[in-house]
Amino acid sequence: MTIFVTGGAGYIGTHVILQLIEQGYDVVAADNFANSKPEAIARVKALCGYDFPFYEMDVRDCNRLSDIFTAHHIECVIHLAGLKAVGESISKPLEYYTNNLDSTIEILSAMKRYGIRKFIFSSSATVYSGENDMPLTEDSHTGSCANPYGWSKFMCEQIISDFTHANNGFSAVLLRYFNPIGAHESGKIGEDPQDIPNNLMPFIAQTTVGRLPFLNIYGNDYNTSDGTGVRDYIHVTDLAAGHVSAIKHLDTHDGIGIYNLGTGVGVSVLELVSAFEDASGVGIKKKIAARRPGDLAICYTSTTKAKIELGWEAKKSIRDCCIDTWRWQKNNPHGYET
Ligand code: NAD
Ligand code: UFG
């Protein structure tokens, strides 16, 4: 089966492509390098030893999509391309809505024209409203999103759901990722934020190699075990494996399926920092700062539905995540530019 992966040069896309190829799928990938580098694709090709077709393009370009769907017998699309920086989405809402919604609409339209019936979408835990009890389940309340990025994922989910209901035989899986961290165990691919990282793990990793002077801990007065925020951190290769399980699910199910991809375990900021210090052997300079606006105290998922219906669960530990992130960051202190 040939799978079209959008956003293939990104953090999650590179790991997804590797697993697809390891599992015997053919891959065609596309990316416009808005938040990634050609070197990422070169490294994926070197790791898997396969020169899969790659297109540098904006996936909103319907003519280029038609060219690809004419040239390759695509049976499934995994749509990871999107803008994802929460803070930037507040200052540039139109860019986020245009990019994330139009790309989804153009891809679904091209799939309809070419009779492609299987679709997997990168959604996010950010679609859940802040009022829910933990753990979050797929039936927890969505909406009331805290920023345009979150709303763009919420709206894409609605578009995909409406499209699926209107098109008999079309099937879609919405994967709501929790907090992906870690890197491929080779140390050759990993997360390479273009600017100062927004997320905790790349901030820890860059502080450890001396690119950043210290880590701000955003709040130590939450109602959690040590007062710092708690999240459900999932290794990116476990997350990638969830996409392979979703493809298998699409082989036997019509309609729409929604799955949370996380570990089911909440880990605090201080616990993650301490695990990284153990894995790297390097002490991390840190300061307690004010709470970050919009942050929840605790966010983690139930894993029951993904286990039962996808036959998938995360296997790697927080220590694995830290060891693999450290290997990537130590070998590539400046990311793919090293
Ligand atoms: P990433 O930025 O590393 O990868 C996204 C890729 O999409 C980038 O390579 C970027 O250049 C590309 N892209 C963006 N717009 C494009 C367009 N119009 N045409 C072609 N390429 C385009 O991000 P990631 O962490 O790999 O995330 C992948 C997906 O997962 C995104 O949709 C993101 O919103 C979603 N997600 C990520 C997280 C996370 O914490 N990393 C959590 C939940 C959901
Ligand atoms: N944190 C710090 N210091 C930092 C960065 C983060 O203390 O420098 C704390 C945050 O306050 C929070 C925790 O670390 O308690 C995790 O923060 P992240 O920014 O790494 O992750 P979030 O849970 O806030 O959000 C991320 C993505 C969202 C996505 C969500 C769920 O940024 O886009 O995970 O998938 F929706």
Conformational region of residue 334, where left means phi above 0, alpha means psi within -120 to 50, and beta covers everything else:
alpha
**In whole angstroms, what is the distance from residue 231 CA to residue 33 CA?**
29
Distance 70 CA to ligand 2 centre (A): 40
Q: What's the burial of 337, exposed, middle or buried (CB within 10 Å: 0-12/13-18/19+)? A: exposed
The answer to whether residue 230 scores a pLDDT higher than 70 is yes
CA torsion through residues 84, 88, 133, 271, sign: positive
Distance 179 CA to ligand 2 centre (A): 8
**In whole angstroms, what is the distance from residue 304 CA to residue 310 CA?**
10
- What's the rounded mean pLDDT across residues 223-229? 98
The per-residue pLDDT for range 60-114, each reduced to its tens digit, is 999 999 999 999 999 999 999 999 999 999 999 999 999 999 999 999 999 999 9
The per-residue pLDDT for range 11-23, each reduced to its tens digit, is 999 999 999 999 9
* Strand duo 230-231 + 267-268: pairing: antiparallel
**In whole angstroms, what is the distance from residue 140 CA to residue 183 CA?**
30
The answer to whether residue 45 scores a pLDDT higher than 80 is yes
Q: What is the pLDDT of residue 4?
A: 99
The per-residue pLDDT for range 121-134, each reduced to its tens digit, is 999 999 999 999 99
How many C-beta neighbours within 10 Å does residue 184 have? 21
- Pocket probe for ligand 1: among 17, 68, 84, 99, the residue whose CB has the most ligand atoms within 8 Å is 84
Give the torsion through C-alpha atoms of 215, 221, 223, 224, to 10 deg: 30
Q: What is the pLDDT of residue 338?
A: 63
Distance 83 CA to ligand 1 centre (A): 6
Model confidence at 294, pLDDT cuts 50, 70, 90, reads confident
What is the phi/psi pair of residue 218, to 5°? Answer: -80, 80
Residues with CB under 6 A from ligand 2: 84, 86, 124-126, 177-179, 198-200, 203, 215-218, 229, 231, 269, 292, 295
Chain Cα centroid distance, residue 156: 15
Conformational region of residue 284, where left means phi above 0, alpha means psi within -120 to 50, and beta covers everything else:
beta
At residue 192, what is the residue type?
D
**In whole angstroms, what is the distance from residue 327 CA to residue 273 CA?**
16
Report which protein residue has its CA nearest ligand 1's atom 21.
Answer: 31
Residues recognised as catalytic: 149
Instruction: State the average pLDDT for the chain.
Output: 97
Report which protein residue has its CA nearest ligand 2's atom 24.
Answer: 295
